[in-house]
């Protein structure tokens, strides 16, 4: 039965009968009196519910002390309140339940409604209302543990909130808070669950912790576990993700390379999603941003040296300094050679020289700056040297690297290729495809027709180096030779000197036309008397030449005699005049 706890109760009378040892008697009587006093001021456990009203007495760094009406105060962790009890002040009241005693002698409290059943009716009430109950783990049995909750109950190992058998054995003799999940009065079968209570407590503490956090706060966390994309930190009941990209300004492949489980870190809260309960953390944000003075320390055109950190198909990343990387694109690795993948040129860890092509600072703190680098710019452009060494008209030699429908590509120097158009392969016939006369790897000779270093294009011709009937004809004749030819056209006058060999006739008009012009001329000619007397004297002596006859006019199809006036092997041209 409950007793009156008034402090004005009479002190029990002390017997006045003589005793053998007065000192021992006084000590014994004092102990009895103290026991009676504590008993009179103690609150006997109430049957059923143990929900009490607690009044805040004081608040420490991690605990809140409450007066629960007992001789000894109760204590709650600060995490049981919003914002780690930052708004809790003495005098405030909270409903609490006793869950046990701690090592310091204080009552451990819970803000959960906890019952301490004494009979089956109180067990049934706690089961119906899903109220947590207090029990003592008495022994580890097969599949779980035995718990005294007023009657013997069974707690499955999977619902004990422990990770292994050793942790489960450590609960023996301890008082726990659990919830009844099965109650059969007839068979006296009771099953309890501690894990669900722990999860609810953790969830309540986490919700209170979430309310205390805001973006931009600096918090201390403990590294709990690693994932390929980052590390999870315990922020005091809630987890935050420190992404691998936010650990340091330098590139980090795996978070465990620079962090360790259990390590404490001061981090910055970057983002909180209250709907998904996700917190993003940053460690590098507490360090100086290396990009702040990059534009002052690096300029386009500057030659730098760095280490290749990683290689992708499209290029290689080079570290100029911690936190500052540049990209060498595959198109900037070679002047002439077509690089398909960057790993054909550079390897991770290799130190290279490069030239800064452009710098783009980050537009926002969430973005990274970009530096474009060039590897080929540190080398002499082979196109410049080639153009000086091999002008247009030069002969080159090299293997066929690729055949296309429109022509063949020929390697004429390291990293330099030229194109032989299909019309420039053979002189005597038309090809449907270069493969009719060429194959990949075949070494050929060609003549440079055109070279454009700006467009990186070289036009070649093979047929220009193949001897033809025209070449042989020019080689076998000289200016002044008289040859026979057939008139092909009259305007302009084209003479065919052989099969496939044609020449231009230097006559501006046919003889018949010249004669017609002379006959129709109305301008009188001035007489040359000295010439006339000479002609008469010569004719009188009988040795004057006969009157000159006009040559027959040139007409298409005629075969006439001509004199070569010009031979040009370079342009493969011939000019003649009527002999």
Give the separation between CA 38 and CA 36, rounded to whole angstroms: 6
Going by their DSSP bridges, the two strands 132-141 and 114-116 should be labelled as: parallel
DSSP-derived secondary structure for 26-84: HHHHHHHHHHHHHHHHS-PPPSEE-EEEEEEEEE-SSEEEEE-SSSS-EEEEGGGSGGG
Percent of the chain with pLDDT over 90: 25
Give the separation between CA 374 and CA 357, rounded to whole angstroms: 6
- Of the candidates 238, 290, 227, 292, the one whose C-alpha atom is nearest the C-alpha of residue 267 is 238
226 contact partners, CB below 8 Å, separation of at least 6: 232, 254, 255, 256, 259, 261
Question: Would you say 159 and 193 are in contact if contact means Cβ atoms under 8 Å apart?
Answer: yes
The mean of the pLDDT values for the chain is: 79
Assigned token pair, 488: 């092909």
Query: ∠ CA 119-125-129 to the nearest 5 degrees?
Result: 150
Q: Is the pLDDT of residue 548 over 70?
A: no
Question: Would you say 211 and 83 are in contact if contact means Cβ atoms under 8 Å apart?
Answer: yes
Tell me the three-class secondary structure of 517-576, residue by residue: HHHCCCCCCCCCHHHHHHHHHHHHHCCCCCCCCCCCCCCCCCEEEEEEEEEECCCCEEEE
Going by their DSSP bridges, the two strands 107-110 and 132-141 should be labelled as: unpaired
Per DSSP, helices labelled H in 109-214 are 120-129, 165-169, 195-212
Q: Is the pLDDT of residue 504 over 70?
A: yes
E strands in 367-500: 370-374, 395-404, 407-413, 416-421, 443-452, 457-461, 482-490, 493-498
Per DSSP, helices labelled H in 447-510 are 469-476
Over range 270-279, report the average pLDDT: 86
Question: Would you say 440 and 410 are in contact if contact means Cβ atoms under 8 Å apart?
Answer: no
**pLDDT score, position 374:** 92
Give the separation between CA 390 and CA 396, rounded to whole angstroms: 8
Minimum mean pLDDT range among 58-62, 212-216, 547-551, 560-564: 547-551
Give the separation between CA 157 and CA 141, rounded to whole angstroms: 9
Give the separation between CA 55 and CA 50, rounded to whole angstroms: 16
Q: Is the pLDDT of residue 383 over 70?
A: yes
Give the separation between CA 282 and CA 278, rounded to whole angstroms: 14
| Placement of tokens 């021992």 in the chain | 24
- Of the candidates 357, 358, 576, 398, the one whose C-alpha atom is nearest the C-alpha of residue 486 is 576
Cα 401–chain centre separation:
35
Minimum mean pLDDT range among 66-80, 451-465, 513-527: 513-527
**pLDDT score, position 37:** 42
Question: Would you say 397 and 372 are in contact if contact means Cβ atoms under 8 Å apart?
Answer: no
Burial of 573 (0-12, 13-18, 19+ CB in 10 A): middle
Q: What is the pLDDT of residues 161-186, one digit of tens each?
A: 888 889 999 898 888 889 999 998 87
Minimum mean pLDDT range among 210-219, 376-385, 396-405: 376-385
- Of the candidates 43, 21, 23, 42, the one whose C-alpha atom is nearest the C-alpha of residue 31 is 23
pTM of the entire structure? Answer: 0.43
118 contact partners, CB below 8 Å, separation of at least 6: 47, 48, 150
Whole-number Cα distances in Å, 190 to 136, 187, 333, 396: 14, 9, 76, 98
Q: Is the pLDDT of residue 531 over 50?
A: no
Assigned token pair, 8: 């004005």
> Over the range 382-413, which residues count as b (16 or more CB within 10 Å of their CB) and which as e?
bbeebbeebeeeeebebebeebeeebbbbbbb
- Of the candidates 549, 551, 557, the one whose C-alpha atom is nearest the C-alpha of residue 577 is 551
Minimum mean pLDDT range among 44-48, 145-149, 410-414, 536-540: 44-48
Question: Would you say 550 and 511 are in contact if contact means Cβ atoms under 8 Å apart?
Answer: yes
Residue 502 pLDDT level (bands cut at 50, 70, 90): confident
Q: Using CA atoms in the order 420, 426, 430, 434, what is the torsion angle rounded to 10 degrees?
A: -50
Listed as own residue / partner, the contacts of 472-480 with beta carbons closer than 8 Å and 24 or more positions apart are 473/497, 473/498, 473/501, 473/574, 474/567, 474/568, 474/569, 474/572, 474/574, 475/569, 477/564, 477/567, 478/564, 478/567, 479/564, 479/565, 479/566, 479/567, 480/563, 480/564
Q: What is the pLDDT of residues 288-324, one digit of tens each?
A: 778 878 888 899 999 999 999 889 889 999 988 888 8
Q: Is the pLDDT of residue 357 over 90?
A: yes
Over range 95-105, report the average pLDDT: 79
Listed as own residue / partner, the contacts of 555-558 with beta carbons closer than 8 Å and 24 or more positions apart are 555/487, 555/490, 555/510, 556/487, 556/488, 556/489, 556/490, 557/486, 557/487, 558/486, 558/487
CA 246, 247, 250, 252 dihedral sign is: negative
Q: What is the pLDDT of residues 12-60, one digit of tens each?
A: 443 334 433 444 344 445 445 444 544 444 444 443 345 688 899 999 8
Across the strands, what pairs with 557? none
**pLDDT score, position 518:** 43
Cis peptide before 492 (omega within 30 of 0): yes
Give the separation between CA 143 and CA 157, rounded to whole angstroms: 6
**pLDDT score, position 154:** 94
Over range 489-513, report the average pLDDT: 75
Percent of the chain with pLDDT over 70: 81
Assigned token pair, 168: 């489960």
**pLDDT score, position 318:** 92
- Of the candidates 444, 376, 454, 436, the one whose C-alpha atom is nearest the C-alpha of residue 409 is 444
Residue 118 pLDDT level (bands cut at 50, 70, 90): low
Over range 112-134, report the average pLDDT: 80
Q: Is the pLDDT of residue 2 over 60?
A: no
Residue 460: left if φ>0, alpha if ψ -120 to 50, beta else—which one? beta
């Amino acid at each position: 039965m409950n007793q009156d706890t008034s402090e004005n109760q009479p002190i029990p009378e002390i017997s006045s009968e003589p005793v053998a040892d007065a000192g021992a008697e006084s000590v014994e009587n004092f102990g009895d009196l103290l026991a009676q006093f504590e008993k009179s001021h103690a609150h006997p456990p109430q049957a059923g519910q143990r929900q009490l009203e607690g009044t805040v007495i004081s608040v420490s760094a991690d605990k809140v002390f409450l007066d629960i009406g007992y001789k000894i105060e109760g204590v709650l962790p600060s995490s049981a309140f919003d914002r780690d009890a930052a708004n809790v002040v003495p005098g405030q009241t909270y409903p609490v339940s006793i869950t046990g005693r701690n090592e310091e002698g204080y009552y451990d409290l819970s803000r959960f409604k906890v019952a301490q059943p004494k009979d089956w009716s109180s067990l049934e009430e706690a089961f119906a209302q899903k109220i947590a109950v207090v029990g003592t783990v008495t022994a580890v049995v097969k599949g779980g543990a035995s718990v005294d909750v007023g009657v013997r109950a069974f707690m499955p190992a999977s619902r004990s909130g422990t990770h292994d058998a050793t942790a489960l054995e450590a609960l023996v003799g301890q008082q726990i808070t659990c919830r009844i999940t099965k109650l059969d009065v007839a068979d006296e079968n009771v099953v309890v669950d501690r894990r669900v209570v722990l999860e609810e407590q953790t969830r309540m503490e986490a919700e209170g912790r979430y309310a205390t956090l805001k973006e931009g706060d600096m918090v201390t966390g403990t590294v709990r576990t690693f994932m390929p994309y980052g590390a999870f930190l315990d922020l005091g009941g809630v987890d935050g993700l420190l992404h691998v990209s936010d650990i340091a300004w330098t590139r980090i492949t795996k978070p465990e390379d620079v962090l360790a489980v259990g390590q404490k870190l001061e981090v910055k809260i970057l983002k909180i999603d209250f709907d998904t309960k996700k917190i993003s953390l940053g460690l590098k944000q507490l360090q100086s941003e290396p990009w702040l003075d990059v534009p002052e320390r690096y300029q386009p055109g500057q030659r730098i040296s760095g280490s290749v950190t990683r290689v992708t198909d499209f290029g290689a990343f080079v570290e100029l300094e911690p936190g500052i990387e540049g990209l060498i694109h595959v198109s900037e690795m070679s002047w002439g050679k077509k690089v398909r993948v960057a790993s054909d040129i550079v390897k991770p860890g290799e130190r290279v020289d490069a030239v800064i092509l452009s710098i783009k600072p980050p537009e926002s703190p969430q973005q990274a700056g970009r530096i474009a680098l060039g590897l080929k710019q540190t080398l002499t452009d082979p196109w410049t040297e080639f153009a000086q060494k091999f002008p247009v008209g030069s002969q080159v030699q090299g293997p066929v690297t690729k055949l296309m429908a429109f022509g063949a590509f020929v390697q004429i120097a390291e990293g330099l290729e030229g194109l032989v158009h299909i019309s420039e392969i053979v002189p005597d016939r038309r090809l449907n495809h270069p493969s009719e006369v060429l194959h990949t790897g075949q070494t050929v000779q060609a003549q440079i027709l055109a070279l454009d270093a700006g467009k990186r294009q070289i036009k070649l011709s093979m047929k220009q180096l193949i001897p033809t009937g025209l070449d042989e004809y020019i080689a076998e004749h000289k200016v002044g030779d008289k040859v026979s030819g057939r008139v092909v056209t009259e305007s302009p006058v084209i003479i065919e000197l052989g099969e496939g060999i044609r020449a231009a006739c230097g006559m501006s008009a046919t003889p018949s036309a010249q004669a017609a012009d002379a006959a129709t001329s109305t301008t009188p000619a001035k007489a040359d008397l000295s010439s006339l007397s000479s002609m008469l004297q010569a004719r009188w002596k009988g040795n004057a030449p006969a009157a000159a006859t006009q040559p027959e006019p040139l007409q298409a199809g005629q075969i006439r005699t001509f004199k070569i006036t010009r031979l040009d092997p370079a342009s493969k041209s011939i000019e003649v005049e009527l002999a």
